[in-house]
Structure 1
Amino acid sequence: MELRYRIIDEARHLFLRHGIKSMTMDDIANHLGISKRTLYEQFKNKEDLLAACMEMHSMHAEDELQRIISSSENIITIMMKMYAKLLSDSNQVCKAFVYDLKKHYHHIYLAAEQQHYNRVDIFIPLVQRGIDEGFIRDDINMEVCLWLVKCQFRSLMIDDFLPTDRFAHNEFARMSILNFLRGMATPQGYQLIDETMEQLKEKAM
């Protein structure tokens, strides 16, 4: 079980960093320092390994989300921490990975999309709590807003339209999430956003 976990964890990072199509089972075995035979004893093919990688990735994302929720005092802090996490994750995923997943392993891509859909529901009661606390405006449809910000992050991963030769990729992500947060916040929420931004900057130093 320990070997299987190690294979999945290392392969997951290789796929995210280099894409799926460019990584062969030989490459993965060499990186792990094991024989290809050992690798095939654990996984029947690359698709089987990829499915296990996506399952682990989803579990880690769910655990991280729950950790952020349980350790945060309010919805603004939760969203800001999620913003920092999304920026960090987006810097570790190459566009080739998303392209390969969607084109060559579409059924796995659809399963991952469904898990993303399900996670949106987690935020709805949290947003309502933010409205009750006075941090979030009560005149907007938060479910629609949550879907819009997810669409923005998806477009950042797969769209070649953005001038990333002139601006850092994460700058587009940063502006997307900050505009989203400021658009939904009350004046009291603005202040909390600014305070949380400063705290995140200090931790990054």
Structure 2
Amino acid sequence: MDKKQLYIEKTLHLFLQKGIKNVTMSEVTQALNVSSKTLYKMFDGKTGLVLTCIRLHKYQMSEMAQRIIDEKDENVLDAIISIHDAFLGEVVQIDPAYFNDIAFYYPEIWETESYFDFKYTKGLMMRGIKQGLFHKNLDVELAVDTIVLLIRAMIEHKDLQGKYKQNYEPLYNSMLLPYLKGLCTMHGLQKLREYHKAKLQAARKAEAI
């Protein structure tokens, strides 16, 4: 790993743990043991550093999604739910200020480098339609856009943040899951029940160990 990549990864870790506004360039240079001149020249200031870190994090999230898709193979519903479970599980570990700071202080980056471009979900849904899991007249673009809106609300909505404090399980069960059920055929609902039953059994088994 070259120095630049190492700097990006270490800085991203700081941003995820403390938010972006709360991490000064001075703190970054101390953590990286590098001069501010070198850092500014390498990334063209904090905005450039923030953009580079966001792109790395997005890439990491995409890689995580692709690994799940590869593991699940033809289990489309399993893949969709597992991806979003993994995504929300990742978000739980991030200081809420991180996303809020991007949206407030770097609005152009927030819009152009969206974390919620779930292209893989569109492909999975189209496969699910062919498998009879989702309604054949489903508007895939609209369905994915709605899922994105629900996830953004779970992450960004201040009232929800304050009330649930990043506990996404009740939010998922009351917001995202009912919508996903509405997209499913009877066959899809059966597969969804089987998935949640297996997940519950696995959780109970893990608790018993």
TM-score scaled by structure 2?
Answer: 0.81
Structure 2 residue aligned with 1:17: 17
Matching of residues 31-180 of structure 1 within 5 Å: 31-32=31-32, 34-37=33-36, 39-40=39-40, 42-72=42-72, 73-113=74-114, 116-117=116-117, 119-120=118-119, 122-162=120-160, 164-165=162-163, 169-175=167-173, 176-180=175-179
Q: Partners of 1:58 and 1:130 in 2: how far apart?
A: 25
Distance 1:163 1:17, change over 3 A: closer
Deviation, structure 1 residue 23? 0.5
- State, as a whole percentage, how many aligned pairs show the same letter: 24
Please list the CA deviations of residues 133-169 of structure 1 after superposition, one character each: whole Å capped at 9, or x if unmatched: 1222224323212111111111222211227446753
Deviation, structure 1 residue 91? 0.4
For the aligned residue pairs, the C-alpha RMSD in angstroms reads 2.6
Q: Partners of 1:39 and 1:157 in 2: how far apart?
A: 31
Distance 1:168 1:49, change over 3 A: closer
TM-score scaled by structure 1?
Answer: 0.82
- Partner SS state of residue 113, structure 2: helix
**Which runs of no fewer than 5 residues in structure 2 stay unpaired?**
none
Distance 1:173 1:8, change over 3 A: farther
Q: Partners of 1:198 and 1:25 in 2: how far apart?
A: 48
Q: Partners of 1:173 and 1:11 in 2: how far apart?
A: 30
Deviation, structure 1 residue 16? 2.2
Q: Partners of 1:2 and 1:151 in 2: how far apart?
A: 37
Structure 2 residue aligned with 1:186: 185
Q: Partners of 2:169 and 2:116 in 1: how far apart?
A: 23
Please list the CA deviations of residues 27-81 of structure 1 after superposition, one character each: whole Å capped at 9, or x if unmatched: 223334x134454453332111111101111222222222222222232011111
Please list the CA deviations of residues 77-134 of structure 1 after superposition, one character each: whole Å capped at 9, or x if unmatched: 1111112112212202333222221222122112213x744x43x4334322212212
Q: Partners of 1:16 and 1:163 in 2: how far apart?
A: 17
- Partner SS state of residue 162, structure 1: helix
**Which runs of no fewer than 5 residues in structure 1 stay unpaired?**
none
Q: Which moved more, 1:58-67 or 1:161-170?
A: 161-170
**8 Å contact kept, 1:8–1:53:** yes
